[in-house]
Structure 1
Amino acid sequence: MKSGEWVTFQYTTPDKTFLIALNGQDERQIYNGNNCKSSLLPIICAGHNQNNPVYFSYGWFFKNRQWYIASDSMDAWTCQLKL
């Protein structure tokens, strides 16, 4: 891990609760109550791929959508995921 400063938010489905952790320098981490995984469900952003990843510095949950802000930019993405 490149940074120890994390932003977290909680995402709940009828079956499970997940904790999403972001630090702006590493892949997003998803804790499912048992394990912490990175890229459980990758977010694909325009102009980015595995060779040119986007890292998120902030995220929140609003109206059944996960919102993310990319590091060092004003770009934001939303996604409706079912983990």
Structure 2
Amino acid sequence: MTAPTFAEKLSALRAESGLTQQELADKTGVPLATIRRFEAGKNKRSPSWGLVVRLAAGVGVPCRVFSVCWEQGQNDG
């Protein structure tokens, strides 16, 4: 099984937490456009560690949950 991309993982975790993209943006201080780009897989770069930490806190999970996105050398950005 292929590891999920950061976009897939973020989108799934946000949905599981019951937040809209706007609510996640408000909760984390991350611009809505940034969240949209990452969830759409349109960012050309991987997120910074600080961004991962903020988004993980926003959806209520430890940041290590996102590590599966890079375990196989995968980069969705």
Same fold (TM > 0.5): no
More helix by share: 2
Compare relative contact order (CA 8 Å, sep 6+) and give the higher one, 1 or 2: 2
Structure having the higher Rg: 1
